Chain A
Amino acid sequence: MSTREIFDGRLEAALLLAPTLLVSVVFLYYPTALAFRTSLFDSGFGRAEEFVGLENYLTLLGSSAYHSSVVISVVFAALVVAGTIAVSLYLTFLIHEVDTGQGWYLISVIWPYALPPAVAALVFLFVFHPTLGVLTGPIEALGLEVDWFNDGPQAFLVVLLVAIWKQIGYNVIFMIAAMKNIPDALTETAELDGVGRLHRLVSVYVPIMTPTLFFLVIINTIYAFFGTFAFVDLLTSGGPANATNVLIFDLYREGFSFFNFGVASTKSVVLFLVVAVLMVIQFRLTEEYSYYGA
């Protein structure tokens, strides 16, 4: 390590770090501090700021609408994580199992990584449109009524599906690397022992891939909380009857529909705590696994 430190101009080093530090302080740290401050004020367009202490926090604590948004977000995140990991793991496993065309299969599965969320949302809006959708007919032929413009659980399901679809690519990218790292000897032993294919995935591969899977659980949770705004905005606008009003969309509405910057800042602080907790868990886990690996 020390042999890499071949330069020692302090001023030079400071200048090299200055642009990153400047942008971090002005556009990342300062706004966050501002959010903490404004969360203690009554603040909005066209009215004077007034210090209210913890009143905004108490408002949120007592707000059943906010509680339901929290519950929706947590359930949504859990389902996004479970769905994404399950689908991606199975896809990765299939790719791992084939002998020919691996490169081709891989790219045809990981491309949604590049898919813009707004595009994903509009395409889903069209494919599952209650009156015009291509898949609406086939689904209704099964005896189900497609009515997610009015039906809360259906709307939730559509947003969930699009969120999982978009996240598959990113997950497979990491899973395939982890699965390829599993020693061939283990696979061979499992096969000699007559362990079936799926059983091999669940009881041999998954335990070895645990560090990667934990990493993806955290990444997918953060994605479910923060990366899904476009889906909700374009597909459901939080409706019907707030059935898809996840925290990030709720925050956006508080700020830019109702212009309650005080309450919106309080909601930002809550979201900050969510990221903080998730990141701490991730750091802990990474540390733990690097001990095992040492």
Chain B
Amino acid sequence: MSAIQYTKRRFEALRRAIGGDDEEESAALTGSEESVGVHLQLWLLVGMVAFPILVAVVVSTKQQGIVTSLPDLVPGTYAVENYREAIVDYGFGRFMWNSLLMSVVVVVGKLVISVLAAMAIVYYRVPYKDLVFLFVLFTLLLPVPVRFIPLFQLINDLGWGNSLLAITVPYLASATTVFILRQHFLSIPTSIVETAKLDGVGPVKFTLQVLVPMSKGVLVGVSIIMFVYAWNQYLWPLVIIDSEANQVAQVGLQLLQGDVQGGQLSWSLVMAGSVLTLLPPLALMVLFRKPLLETFAIQQK
């Protein structure tokens, strides 16, 4: 079975899973009484997975955030004040803006340069391009944790320390994105490509009028993956950004943690900061879950 057929089958399976075509899963297979047990277990487990975040949400609405037993878990009335205080007084407006800027620049930058690279790798007849692809793929071996010490020195030598450049440019080359796009481009039927060639379509027109429209789902899916990845970066901003004005939300949480452990801050504010930091990636994931899941199906190959 070829990789593409395999991928297609996965697509189908995923579509069934997220599309909720439940009827076709014949109910006769499983006794309905047994199903009640399965539903109960699922509810319990879903509740356990969500529990810590539900606590965070509840606590973020309370005055002090002292919740020492389960019956204390009733929402308070300080939500507006807490979130206002986190955003304005504790800089989360600023941190979130910096995170957003970083993530958008990384997503757009990665997407553009990866589409270009995948375009060359798939649609150009040039020597050594398989070697080039391997060279890009090999960077999977070099995640940030392996190189952040020398990268720190390099970025400071470039004079980029504490800047948006420092937390965006090193992320722009993406083996994962190039790989996913290449896989997807290879699944576009050759007949369409050949027609474009017969029509004398140039590379720019081909990209904008054929490739991009035929890749919408994948481009959205990849963007969500990249956004979540960029937004959730912690280690690199922690070492390279040293002013609060330029800091991102993840490290902003670390600053809150220091204050709360030192007793200068109430837990309700820390939880408000946590909920704020969780919202953007969570919302994007829920909204675009379908293209996201389809893109993951390509990634595993």
Which residues of A approach B to under 8 Å, CB–CB? 1-10, 12-14, 16-17, 19-21, 23-24, 26-32, 34-35, 38, 91, 94-95, 97-120, 122-127, 132-134, 136-138, 165, 168, 173-174, 176-177, 180-181, 184, 187-188, 191, 197, 212, 215, 222, 225-226, 229-230, 233-234, 248, 251-252, 255-256, 261, 264-265, 268, 271-272, 275-276, 279, 286, 290, 293-294
Does the CB pair B270–A122 fall under 8 Å? yes
- Report the interface size for chain B: residues with CB under 8 A from the other chain: 118
Interface residues, chain B, with chain A CB atoms under 8 Å away: 1, 3, 6, 9-10, 13-14, 16-20, 22, 25, 27, 29-30, 34-35, 38-39, 41-42, 45-46, 49-53, 55-56, 59, 66-70, 72-73, 113-114, 116-117, 119-126, 129, 132, 135-136, 139-143, 145-154, 169-170, 172-174, 178, 185-186, 190, 193-194, 196-197, 203, 206, 228, 231-232, 234-235, 238-239, 249-251, 253-254, 256-257, 267, 270-271, 273-274, 277-278, 281-282, 284-286, 289, 293, 296-297, 300-301
List of 9 A-B pairs having minimum Cβ-Cβ separation, nearest first: A180-B13, A23-B173, A34-B150, A5-B125, A16-B120, A27-B170, A19-B113, A31-B150, A103-B20
Residues from chain A with a CB closer than 8 A to the CB of B72 are 134
B301 in contact with A286 (CB, 8 Å): yes
**B44 closest partner in A (C-beta):** A94
What residues on A are CB-neighbors of B172 within 8 Å? Answer: 19-20, 23
Determine the chain A residues whose CB is within 8 A of the CB of B16 once the complex forms.
180
Task: Determine the residue in chain B with the shortest Cβ distance to A276.
Answer: B141
Are B116 and A20 touching (Cβ within 8 A)?
Answer: yes
Q: CB distance A24 to B253 under 8 Å?
A: no
Please give me the residue from chain B that is nearest to A6 by CB atom.
B197
Contact present for B17 and A180 (CB under 8 Å): yes
B56, B122, B145: the one within 8 Å of A248 (CB): B145
A269 to chain B, nearest CB (A): 8
| Chain A residues within 8 Å of B120, by CB | 12-14, 16-17
